[in-house]
Structure 1
Amino acid sequence: MDLSLRTKLQYGAMFIALLGCVLTCVSTFVPLWKQLNLDLNELEIWTSGLWQTCVVQDEGGMQCKDFDSFLALPFQLRMARILMFLSDGLGIVGLIVSCFCLDCLKTTEKDTKKYLALFGGALFWMSGITALVPVSWIAYDTVQEFWDETIPEIVPRWEFGEAMFMCWFGSFFLMFGGSLLFCSKHAVTKQKTVRSQAKNTHIGLFYDPATLQNRCPDLII
């Protein structure tokens, strides 16, 4: 792998991880995690997020109400807030750390950049997994409540919202970006190995004893 391919891997990792970080940060605050299915009243659309519940009406626009207390929330919602904040923080720190491992910056040595790439990739993976846990947890509970036979059929059911898909895609983008950073680290190692082998081969050809003996027959080794 040459230098241009390693640089492409680094830039691709930064772009994909940045996209994933933006998606997870946006999904943390928008009230679009769940959507209420109202067959009897199609003029209203109820949506719910980690911070508030909103209702969209054709005539009155959107009205939202924040949740009153953090301690009064269900355990699932409290953990989702904490994990999403942790995921956003890890993703931002991972972006900052990964910037210092780019080849276009001459701030640190190559060996230090290699370890920074490993650390940045690990942060991206941790951020993606941390965001994947709460959204999958809420999705599982939503499915269980939707197919609960003890609830009458006339009762509206919550369904998946757009923010859940944003969070899923964001978490996968973060993990994919971390994987590309790991690949860029191996690209550096392989390039160094190829250069070292080429240098040893050049030296071996230059100091070949058989060649010297053919050139100087009277030379006794």
Structure 2
Amino acid sequence: MNPIVEAFACFLGFLGWIMVGIALPNRYWRESTVDGNVITTSTIYENLWMSCATDSTGVHNCREFPSLLALNGYIQASRALMIASIVFGTFGLVATLVGMQCSKIGADNYVLKGRIAAIGGVFFLIQGICTMIAVSWYAANITQEFFNQLYLGTKYEIGEGLYIGWASAVLAICGGSCLLCSCKFKSPNEKSSYPYQPASRGHVVSTVAASHNTPSNYGRNAYV
């Protein structure tokens, strides 16, 4: 495995994992502006956990969703997928750090370390897929309600939390793909460590005997 590609993939996966942790508690997953006069104009924004509102004076008021079972199905699924994404990203980061060539774990067994790094790449891919599904599903419901002429509720627009989630998913997928591709093609200069196996005694004796029985092309007079 190329150490530069390995380090770059680990950096992408780590950055994607950090951005998932930023996107999950972000309050601006969707936002809407209620127009009125200068005093009554307010902004409503929500995420997976709470709904908030702020008026023109800058006063914020937030309330958490009272019941999990009372929420829409896509919100419950997005919560589960985002939490699973953080868990898979943690496993992927640990496996990648263990499988890197610069780490001391696993000694010089580069075959085993490469396989562990490939497992880390799989975890990063799963992280990116979970994040992409959660964010895209949430955004699809926003756009569906926004363009629905028969929908009478508050119409929201896509917030910054979804863009952070999309960027996180792309970084995690790229990092996992780099790890898998670099582990698939093995460099010809890469050597695997094998345990030392001494030759058998009979093989040594037969080799020595064969060397004595081999006729020489030179006589005694050829030696000084």
Instruction: Tell me, yes or no, whether TM beats 0.5.
Output: yes
> 1:36 is matched by which residue type in structure 2?
S
Which structure would you say has the larger Rg? 2
| Structure with greater helix share of residues | 1
Could you say what the CA RMSD is over the residues aligned between the two structures, in angstroms? 2.2
Paired residue secondary structure (1:157):
coil
CA distance in 2, matches of 1:151, 1:12: 46
Count the aligned residue pairs: 190
Counterpart position of 1:31 = 27
> 1:33 is matched by which residue type in structure 2?
W
User: Residues 78 and 191 (structure 1 numbering): CA distance in 2 closer, same or farther, change over 3 Å?
Assistant: same
Indicate which of 172, 180, 183 corresponds to 2:181.
183
1:165 Cα deviation (Å)?
0.5
1:120 Cα deviation (Å)?
0.5
Relative contact order (alpha carbons < 8 A, sep ≥ 6): 1 or 2 greater?
A: 1
Gaps spanning 5+ residues in structure 1: where?
197-217
Identity over aligned pairs, percent: 27
CA distance in 1, matches of 2:105, 2:19: 30
1:192 Cα deviation (Å)?
4.0
Query: TM-score, normalising length from structure 2?
Result: 0.78
Q: Does 1:102 align with 2:110?
A: no
Please list the CA deviations of residues 193-212 of structure 1 after superposition, one character each: whole Å capped at 9, or x if unmatched.
Answer: 7x79xxxxxxxxxxxxxxxx
> 2:18 is matched by which residue type in structure 1?
V
CA distance in 2, matches of 1:105, 1:118: 15
Query: TM-score, normalising length from structure 1?
Result: 0.79
Q: Does 1:150 align with 2:147?
A: no
Q: Does 1:21 align with 2:17?
A: yes
Q: Is the 8 A contact 1:37 1:159 kept in 2?
A: no
Runs of 4+ in 1 over 3 A off after TM superposition: 39-43
1:191 Cα deviation (Å)?
2.9
CA distance in 2, matches of 1:176, 1:39: 42
Of the structure 1 ranges 58-67 and 34-43, higher mean CA displacement relative to structure 2 is found in 34-43
Q: Is the 8 A contact 2:33 2:42 kept in 1?
A: no
Gaps spanning 5+ residues in structure 2: where?
193-216, 219-224
CA distance in 2, matches of 1:18, 1:39: 41
